[in-house]
Amino acid sequence: MTAYRRTVRLVLSLLAGLLLAGTVATTAQAEDGYRFWGYYQWSGGQWAFAQKGADGVVPADGAVEGWRYALGGAKPRVPRAAGDFQAICGSTPAESGKKRVALVVDPGTPADALNGQTPGPATGTCVVTDVQATGAKILAAVAPVRIEKGLTCGIAGYPSAGCGDQVKNIQVPATDDPVTLQIGAAVGSSAAPSPTTSPAASSSDSGGAPWTGIIIAAVVVVVLAGGGLALNRRRASQQS
């Protein structure tokens, strides 16, 4: 593993630790954020932020991977549909020597979009691939991926430009309405099912962090750490 990837893992792990410790909930005051594709895994009935890049994750058979494009600040913006493996891959037969991974791709809402661009529907695809396939390979099997400086910047041509762009004074909704996935034919299967749809399902906003790149994550870690220190000092002065 390269030094760059080790650094990415370290920064993202630090950020995840801050989120789990509740730092974001107590110190997030500024509503500045970024537009980006977030990478998640379905775990324990909710979406959880991936603590490794997609090229470093090897999902197991039966796993559910998720991507969500959103305008995010302190509040996580996870895929708006649940990671229902049965709905996405249930009609795709298992194949010897391969694995089935359900992939949810959610381009987000018009409010998340860059000016002049329109997000497509959220989709679910069953990917049948070799057992060692990474999250990056699974995503690339479904749609073209635009990579810049090691970051996933566009999926299936959306957005057509930009990558982790900072946005000032953002307005993040308290909740995201659930959506109905458009489920397409399986990819890589010799017996692909017909496209269908899955029922709308709420996704939990509690598991996941909004930053997927080392640059974004590093900035946020510094800001959150500084905010937490300031908050602790203010509380100490009030109690003295």
Looking at the predicted structure, is the pLDDT value of residue 166 above 50? yes
User: What pLDDT is attached to residue 91?
Assistant: 96
Average of pLDDT values for 193-208? Answer: 44
Query: Which tokens sit at 88?
Result: 């996405």
**Residues 142-160 pLDDT 10s:** 999 999 989 999 999 999 9
Are 62 and 179 spatial neighbours (Cβ–Cβ below 8 Å)? no
Contacts of 140 (CB under 8 A, 6+ apart): none
Domain extent listing, the chain: 34-210
Looking at the predicted structure, is the pLDDT value of residue 221 above 70? no
CA separation for the pair 104, 51 (Å, rounded): 18
CA separation for the pair 41, 183 (Å, rounded): 18
**Residues 94-120 pLDDT 10s:** 999 999 999 999 999 999 998 889 999
Looking at the predicted structure, is the pLDDT value of residue 240 above 70? no
User: What pLDDT is attached to residue 32?
Assistant: 86
User: pTM higher than 0.75, yes or no?
Assistant: no
